[in-house]
Amino acid sequence: MKTTKLFFHVAIIIAITAVTLSSCKKDKLEKGSMDYTSVSNLSDDELNVEQVSNESMEDVEGFLNYQGNDNFKSGGRVPCNATVDSTEVVNDTITIYITYDGLSCNGRRYRTGQVEIKKRVGTHFGRPGASVQIRHIDFTVSAPNGSRAMTINSSKIFTNVTGGFVFMLGHNGFNSLVHRLQGRMNISFSNGTSRTWLVARQKTFSGTRGNLLLSVDGFGSSGDYTNLVTWGTNRNGEDFFTQISESIVYKQACTWDPVSGSKFHQIPSADKSALVLFGYNSDLQPITGDECPTHYRIDWQNGTYTGTRFIPLP
């Protein structure tokens, strides 16, 4: 189980950093390089894609709230700058398309393309264990000015583990909602690079409307690696594995930015890794109280070289 390896690598990072900073040590580090680009890009890509995915799945769930005899066009919450259409029932399955062309409701992203939802007729998504098939089809997302563009094509299963909906939280003893998202994604970036990954993300919602918390964990496995949230190939063609070492918590009051938690990236073939810690302010200090984060921290390792970087949230 590579969970043990996770903590071993973290210990290596801390130990090597301490040695490097000591004025008493003059040993020259020769293995690896000072290049942290691949693990930094990996972390940045994953955070950006996860935030986009969270917003997209919020749209899907908001739409699935409607339980009116599968006549989706007459109910449900339609996202901003999007249209909804559905097909005739085929083999007990109805297909719904959300087509985007404009800014998201929070104004943070410009979106085009489609999200396809396949749902068996008579299946109520609010029931425990209910699931639907989700595909992103040329789903292109960028900042409002067109920067940081990426295109997602994916095929995933979206499961309501506990049953219920987000709007029910805090009422009648309903205090926790668990969703699981599992499948494959291909992400193409504006510079011509692409990334393929598998995803096994568990999302737990808690709190009350307007003050919700979202905790994200990984439940995937590959070989000896467990607790994986994503794994696959990065922009450089390297195989990677990302484990969540401490649940990553997103806060609605902070526009769903990550306020705490950590994950661990590993690129075994290149002996590279990075511990990513969330919840830092503009002074590069851990946030406190109701403060919202602006940065996250990467403690990276490349061979025997190590370092720390603080990166603004996307």
Q: Write the CA distances from 46 to 1, 234, 240, 289, integer angstroms.
A: 23, 10, 12, 27
* pLDDT for the residue 236: 81
Q: Give the closest residue to 273 by CA, choosing from 29, 69, 6, 3.
A: 6
Calculate Rg over the CA atoms of the chain. Answer: 21
For residue 33, give its domain range: 3-312
Measured distance CA(235)–CA(47) in Å, rounded:
15
| Amino acid type, 127 | R
Taking the C-alpha atoms of residue 39 and residue 271, their distance in angstroms, rounded to an integer, is 11
Q: What is the pLDDT along the chain (314 residues), one digit of tens a residue?
A: 555 455 545 444 444 444 444 433 333 345 656 677 888 888 888 888 888 888 888 888 877 875 443 444 444 567 889 998 888 788 889 999 999 999 998 888 999 999 999 999 888 899 999 999 999 999 999 999 988 899 999 999 999 999 999 889 998 889 999 999 999 999 998 888 888 899 999 999 999 988 999 999 999 999 999 999 999 998 888 899 999 999 999 999 999 999 999 999 999 999 999 999 999 999 999 999 999 999 999 999 999 999 999 999 98
**8 Å CB contact between 81 and 111:** yes
In the numeric block, the tokens 């919202």 are attached to 292
* DSSP three-state, residue 68: coil
The total number of structural domains that make up the chain: 1
pLDDT at position 9 is 53
* Per-residue b or e along 96-118, where b marks 16 or more CB atoms closer than 10 Å to that residue's CB: bbbbbeeebeeebbbbbbbbbbe
Predicted confidence at residue 37, as pLDDT, reads: 83
Residue 67: HSE in the Cβ half-sphere, 13 Å Cα cutoff: 8
Distance CA 152, CA 139 (A): 5
pLDDT for the residue 179: 96
**Close Cβ partners of 135 (under 8 Å, ≥ 6 residues apart):** 115, 116, 118, 153, 154, 155, 156
